[in-house]
Amino acid sequence: MCSYFFLGAAYGIMMEETGFPWYVALLLSVTVYTGAFQFVLITFLSTGASLLTIAITALLMNSRQSFYSLTFLNDFKRMGKRKLYMIHSLTDETYAVNCTLELPRKEKEDTMFGVALLSHCYWMAATVVGAVLGQLIPFELEGIDFCMTALFVIIFMDQWKKASSHIPALAGLTCGIVCLLIFGQSSFILPALLLVSGILFFAGRKEAAE
């Protein structure tokens, strides 16, 4: 939660320094709420990028969420009216936390919803705090967006320590690097996800057969 607060504050500061008022930053955190893409969206909005460019970039950058959601299909189905919010609030961080939950079904569903709601509230509150700080204190923006990368590294390290097998992590890391070299920085995410999903799917079937 603390890392979420710092990330949200960094986003709010960048929005304010780019010229957007705090309520615009908050509105995007309420409705868009995509973390990494919100940082990219700052550049798009400030440069007047077309809606088509924004839509395609959002689709490519957030395509990984469709893979995440497969993990929680049964959980979300049982959550009734909360299902739509769980879909909207699914992020890298909430996915990482909720994947580690080993609780009875009802307790797990309530905890998942609590994690999603608190994470979103932290992000929205931090956005406002960052935007207000951006008004009051001049900031040097160079490097501030690296906090998102730092959070992903920390999540990876934490999952590495907890995992009984490192094969999925190594497969993801290898596929990510290979696809980055082949497809480039702007287009590697979707191919990497498809590749690692295929590898883990067939590896799982082979293990089950044995």
Q: Per-residue pLDDT tens for 5-22?
A: 888 888 888 888 888 989
Instruction: Please give the pLDDT value at position 125.
Output: 93
105 and 8 belong to one structural domain:
yes
CA 103 vs CA 100, 117, 150: distances in Å: 10, 18, 29
Residue 116: inside a domain: yes
Q: Is residue 149 domain-resident?
A: no
pLDDT in tens, 158-196: 767 777 777 878 888 888 899 889 988 767 777 887 888
User: What pTM, to 2 d.p., does this model score?
Assistant: 0.68
Q: Are residues 85 and 28 in the same domain?
A: yes
Residue 101 falls inside a structural domain: yes
Q: 206 and 122, same structural domain? A: no
pLDDT band, residue 151 (cuts 50/70/90): low
32 and 136 co-located in one domain: yes
Q: What is the pLDDT of residue 120?
A: 92
Q: Which residue from 152, 154, 193, 181 is spatially nearest to 39, judged by alpha carbons? A: 152
Whole-number Cα distances in Å, 20 to 11, 24, 37, 46, 134: 11, 6, 17, 9, 10
- Domain presence at residue 88: yes
Residues 80 and 136 in one domain: yes
Number of domains in the chain: 2
pLDDT at 124 over 90: yes
Together in a domain, 168 and 139: no
What pLDDT does residue 148 have? 62
**Do residues 209 and 168 share a domain?**
yes
Domain range for 175: 163-210
Same domain for 28 and 124, yes or no, is: yes
Residue 157 falls inside a structural domain: no
Q: What is the pLDDT of residues 57-113, one digit of tens each?
A: 787 777 777 777 778 888 888 888 899 999 888 887 888 888 888 888 888 888 999
